[in-house]
Every structure is written in structure tokens, then in C-alpha cells.
Amino acid sequence: MEIRSIKTPGFIKSLFIALLTLSVSFESKAEDINIVTTNTILADITSEVTGKHAVIYSLVGYDEEVHAFNPKPSDLKKLKEADIIIANGKNLEGWLSRIDDKNKIVEASKGIKSIKKDGYEDPHGWNSPYNANIYIDNIAYAACAKIPAYCNEFKDNANKYKQTFNELTIKYKQLYDALPQENKKAITAHDAFGYLARDFEITFIPIKGVNEETEISAQILAQIIKQIRESGIKVIFIENISNTHFAEQLTKETSATIGGELISDSLSKKNSVDTYYKMVDYNLKTVYEAFSSAK
């Protein structure tokens, strides 16, 4: 059993574990689709849409960094065997150009109103719930094309799933709109929340860029400290996928405090935020609570 394979609903997982415990072999059905996703967020959305009709494997695991990923030979084998490869797109997975069969690649973020930074498209579309519907529809469309016999089921799953995001979005939009604008600003570890900032009128100042993998320089840190002091920023958010040294230094040098750990690019086992819905809810709640208590 692959550590990173995801298969829902939950009771199937439990059944699978129970079967393994009993040393009974469990074979996937012949009509199941074999889907490889590039990260855990896409794996979870895919499993919500395809239900029991897909075997899903995520290349990047929980709490792992997505920008620096490079496929190992075992990953390339998985990609070769896949019926569908679900990627985010917007250059998050530059290594995909090495895949021979490009027809099976699905760009899950296709159609979102993208943000451009320094000439590049910001890949982090998933971090705004306003984009969830597009991700869900793109994945449902791809699953339908692969097994049309279950298309009605996929569409049904997608519609119910989208409805939960619509309700979540309306709830938080009202809460954020009621916050004073001067409270809605913070430092983040890397530039992963541009879409959330745009859609909820937040100012995030990231320490690292959209795709940056380099260490933070003392110069950048000095600049950020100056910015915190000048603009009266009171909140710093750390992330599940990056180190926290920068934040410790900033809290020593300024009066800003850590507002929580955001789940940016990978679902989190360590924070028990292991579904995409929980992730969006958790991030919006964490940011809201930090902004509403900032003094």
C-alpha cells in the first residue's frame, strides 16, 4: 500500500486497512481509473469527485514542499502507468514537459482568472475558495471523458462538493467584509495567498516569492522589519511547508506576533488538516481570528 495513495470515502479506507490486517488481498476493479495527481490538494479534490471509481496517487506528500519537487524514477513509472495525470498548471510543475504522453495531463487550474507577478502566472489558485468550483469542474470533466459510464455520478459528486464551498465562501466573505480594512494585513512565509488576498481584500506581504526556493537573506529580512514598523503590521503567518526561523526573528525585532500556521501548498497531517475543504476553512478561520484580535 502506498503511503501517499488516497482513496475515499473514509469507510473504504478503514475497510482497506481492515482487509490488510486480515492479510486478505484487495484488488482494484478493472474499470477503476488510475489517477496520479501532483499534490495532495488535487488528490483530495479528485477523490471527492470520483468516489470509489479511481485509485489515486499523489506525487508530493502531506506537509511537503511542492515547488522544489522533481520526479524520481519510481514517480516516472507511476506517471507512465496513469490513465490521467492531474496537475495544477501555471508552471507549478515545470518537469511535466518531460512526460511523453501529454494528452493525459489535465490542468486543474485552467480557466481561473489568474494573477501575474513579475511576468509569471501565480500558480496558487487553490488558496481562494472562489476558484474551488473551477478546480472541481475541470477534474470532473476529465473523469467523465475517461469513464463516461459514471459521468452522472461524477457530476453529482462535483455539484454537492461545490455547494459546500459556495456556503463556506459566503460565510467568510461576510465576516471579512465586516473587519476594519486596517486590520487586514500580515506577513506570510511565501507568496502563496495572492488569490485569497485579492478575493477577500487582504494585504499579505510575503517574505519569499511565488516560486522561490532560496533561503531568506539578511537584507530581505531587514527590509521586512522596516516594512512591519512603518505600516503597523501586527500579524505574521508561518506555513506548514516552510521553516519558521524568519518568524522568530521578526517577533524579536518588531511588535508583531505569530497569528498561526497556514496550510499553503500541501494538505497537513501534522495539523489534522487533511482535506482541501478543511484546509480552506482552517486558513480562512486562522486569518480571520488573527485579524479580529489584532491590537
Residues at the site binding Zn ion, with contacts judged by CB under 5 A = 192, 265
Shortest Cβ 239–Zn ion spacing (Å): 9
Shortest Cβ 45–Zn ion spacing (Å): 17
Residues in the chain: 295
Grid coordinates representing 256 are 508583531
Shortest Cβ 294–Zn ion spacing (Å): 25
Grid coordinates representing 246 are 524568519
User: For Zn ion, which is the closer residue by CB, 122 or 153?
Assistant: 122
CA 263/CA 272 separation, integer angstroms: 11
User: For Zn ion, which is the closer residue by CB, 55 or 192?
Assistant: 192
CA 137/CA 162 separation, integer angstroms: 9
Are 36 and 85 a contacting pair, CB within 8 Å? Answer: yes
User: For Zn ion, which is the closer residue by CB, 69 or 154?
Assistant: 69
Shortest Cβ 192–Zn ion spacing (Å): 4
User: For Zn ion, which is the closer residue by CB, 44 or 265?
Assistant: 265
Are 126 and 165 a contacting pair, CB within 8 Å? Answer: no
CA 87/CA 178 separation, integer angstroms: 36
User: For Zn ion, which is the closer residue by CB, 137 or 265?
Assistant: 265
Are 50 and 28 a contacting pair, CB within 8 Å? Answer: no
Shortest Cβ 127–Zn ion spacing (Å): 9
CA 38/CA 266 separation, integer angstroms: 10
